[in-house]
Structure 1
Amino acid sequence: MTWLEVLVLGLVQGLTEFLPISSSAHLRITSEVFFGRDAGAAFTAVTQLGTELAVVVYFAKDIGHLVAVWWRGFSTPMVRITDDYKIAWLVIIGTIPIAVLGLLFEDQIQTVGRNLWLVATTLIVFGLLLGLAERVGRQQIELRKITPKDGILLGFAQAMALIPGVSRSGGTITAGLFLGMTRPAIVRYSFLLAIPSVFAAGLFQLPDVFAGDGPSVLQMIVATVIAFGVGYATIAWLLRYVEGHSVYVFVWYRVGLGLLLLAALSTGRLAAT
């Protein structure tokens, strides 16, 4: 892997991880278009450590509070009736689907799941679903009002992002809007929900990313640091953006990119695998 490839993909990861446009799809497409090969699911998983570290730093105070409340809940009954205690457990519960499905379908995710025909289709289909959710969602429910059932549904929505093109944040935002949550609430929850699964996946895939003609340790560190810095800025921007804007711009972008990708595949300008 060349240094240009490492720098470009680290930048792409940081820019796209938190937007509902699928970072894994963008890494897959960028790798194929500009470098003629697939960087691989392992590279994606490990660079996500950088963007998730940005979440931890950005929300350090909130995360520390939730962890402390969750821990105190084991010994203090009064803590168990608080909204923060419930949210901490919902993050844990919501992580279970992606952990189980990720282990069950690991081989498919790293092979057939990265076919560009599938990526183009999921970009369009889940983009349209995001637009529909924005249109019909009541957007009345704040984060503290979500139920355990909501947490499980949002966990399965996040698990759909195992397929490149769906988007981790896109899946949870779509499901959250359908459930009636406000945009700021579901975006914030999607950040928190991703932390356990992304760190686990990144650490699990560390040995695979250096196999074959993959990046060196130094290259991987640089790509992850770039993803961290750009991802941190993207978090701040997205939280401000969703407070006063719809998600339709991401819908149009997803559909446009998916159609462009289908055209490139149909004319033979890109290979699907």
Structure 2
Amino acid sequence: MDELSTLQTILIAIVEGLTEFLPVSSTGHMIITQSLLGIESTEFVKAFTVIIQFGAILSVVCLYWKRFFHLNSCKIFDSEAVKGLSGSKKGLTYLKRFLYKYDFYWKLLVAFIPAAFFGLLFSDIIDDLLESVTVVATMLVLGGVFMIFSDKIFKNQSQSTEMTDRKAFKIGIYQCIAMIPGVSRSMATIMGGMAQKLSRKHAAEFSFFLAVPTMFAATCYKILKLYLSGGTQVLSDNLFTLILGNVVAFIVALLAIKFFISFITKYGFKAFGYYRIIVGVAILAMILMGHNLEIA
């Protein structure tokens, strides 16, 4: 028997698709949505909110497939370019081609390592925090205040498009902050990228790319935990829900990414900062007035 109705599935997936790549915390918004809809926080529901992120990351692969799979390689690495070269020079050229082709994935791996380490280390604590609407609302407000001033903070710094191993690792450290619900993985990694002197656009795009291994690993880890705890039956019983959620998240995320890149390039992050503060304050006010929004 499905633990979520079709309407609940679609609503949560829409929220995921809209917010996954925006700096407003997709996890936080799904927790708030779950609370407002009165959905019990069962093991399946917890897994569902993670697994449908897979649909969202496919939108990144779809939109950036040429860059993601490096099909736009430089002509210097074409086979014609190595004809007539001596053995040593030819070998060096092939080595450069190999390094060029796989450097993109190496940078993603370097940036992914911190989240993988701390995610495994603090898995249980993270799961507990995921049930607190108060934590989400508080972090939305704090993150919003930072975002309002972020454009000024990074305004006068020189910008670069070069991504080094050191920069990738530092962005990965920033991503770990997003393990606190309400912070936003997108916000943390974009701000991390800008702190490494990347432009808003390049920081956002690297954030999108980094989401692929990060959320894929989170999805696999959540499924593995369910499998080890004997919860595979609940996944098969709710297969339609999982498929529907991923499809909806994929379609909505496609539209959200295009909007986001265009918006931040022109206007920056201030609007998202104000939005976070409004939502966070509204949730905290409801809690203070006695409304029980905590997830059961």
TM-score by length of 1: 0.88
Q: 2: distance between equivalents of 1:157 and 1:186?
A: 12
Question: How far apart are 1:139 and its partner, in Å?
Answer: 5.6
Per mean C-alpha deviation after superposition, the further-off stretch among 106-115 and 167-176 is 106-115
Q: 2: distance between equivalents of 1:117 and 1:218?
A: 32
Question: How far apart are 1:49 and its partner, in Å?
Answer: 0.2
Deviations 1:45-88 (A, max 9, x none): 1010000011111111101108989xx99993324775x75443
Identify the match of residue 238 of structure 1 among 251, 260, 264: 260
In the superposition, relative to structure 1, how do residues 67 and 200 fare at CA in structure 2: closer, same or farther (>3 Å)? farther
Q: 1: distance between equivalents of 2:291 and 2:140?
A: 19
Per mean C-alpha deviation after superposition, the further-off stretch among 85-94 and 248-257 is 85-94
Deviations 1:236-259 (A, max 9, x none): 111222221111010000111111
Identify the match of residue 26 of structure 1 among 26, 29, 46: 29
| Residue 98 (str. 1) matches residue 101 (str. 2) | no
Question: How far apart are 1:24 and its partner, in Å?
Answer: 0.3
| Structure 1 residues 1-273: aligned runs within 5 Å | 1-38=4-41, 40-65=45-70, 76-79=94-97, 86-137=103-154, 138=156, 140-143=158-161, 145-206=162-223, 208=226, 216-273=238-295
Question: How far apart are 1:183 and its partner, in Å?
Answer: 0.6
Q: 2: distance between equivalents of 1:45 and 1:132?
A: 31
DSSP 3-state at the match of 1:200: helix
Q: Does the 8 Å contact 1:114/1:163 carry over to 2?
A: no
DSSP 3-state at the match of 2:60: helix
In the superposition, relative to structure 1, how do residues 150 and 269 fare at CA in structure 2: closer, same or farther (>3 Å)? same
Question: How far apart are 1:210 and its partner, in Å?
Answer: 6.3
Two-structure CA RMSD over aligned residues (Å)? 2.8
Sequence identity (%):
29
Per mean C-alpha deviation after superposition, the further-off stretch among 248-257 and 37-46 is 37-46
Deviations 1:147-191 (A, max 9, x none): 322211110111222221011111111222233221101000000
Q: Which has the larger radius of gyration?
A: 2
Q: 2: distance between equivalents of 1:18 and 1:192?
A: 11
> One-letter code of the match for 2:257?
I
Give the structure 1 partner of residue 84 of structure 2.
Answer: none
Q: Does the 8 Å contact 1:134/1:177 carry over to 2?
A: no
Question: How far apart are 1:212 and its partner, in Å?
Answer: 6.2
In the superposition, relative to structure 1, how do residues 221 and 244 fare at CA in structure 2: closer, same or farther (>3 Å)? same
Q: Does the 8 Å contact 2:129/2:180 carry over to 1?
A: no
Per mean C-alpha deviation after superposition, the further-off stretch among 132-141 and 167-176 is 132-141
Deviations 1:91-119 (A, max 9, x none): 11000011111111111111134311111
In the superposition, relative to structure 1, how do residues 197 and 212 fare at CA in structure 2: closer, same or farther (>3 Å)? same
> One-letter code of the match for 2:274?
W
Runs of 5+ in structure 2 lacking a partner? 78-90
> One-letter code of the match for 2:13?
G
Q: 2: distance between equivalents of 1:58 and 1:122?
A: 30
Runs of 5+ in structure 1 lacking a partner? none
In the superposition, relative to structure 1, how do residues 150 and 7 fare at CA in structure 2: closer, same or farther (>3 Å)? same
Question: How far apart are 1:89 and its partner, in Å?
Answer: 2.1
Q: Does the 8 Å contact 1:14/1:226 carry over to 2?
A: yes
Report the number of matched residues: 269
Deviations 1:116-155 (A, max 9, x none): 1111111111222223322110464233x23322211110
In the superposition, relative to structure 1, how do residues 169 and 139 fare at CA in structure 2: closer, same or farther (>3 Å)? farther
Q: Does the 8 Å contact 1:130/1:173 carry over to 2?
A: no
Q: 2: distance between equivalents of 1:28 and 1:67?
A: 40
TM-score by length of 2: 0.82
Q: 1: distance between equivalents of 2:121 and 2:92?
A: 32
> One-letter code of the match for 1:30?
T
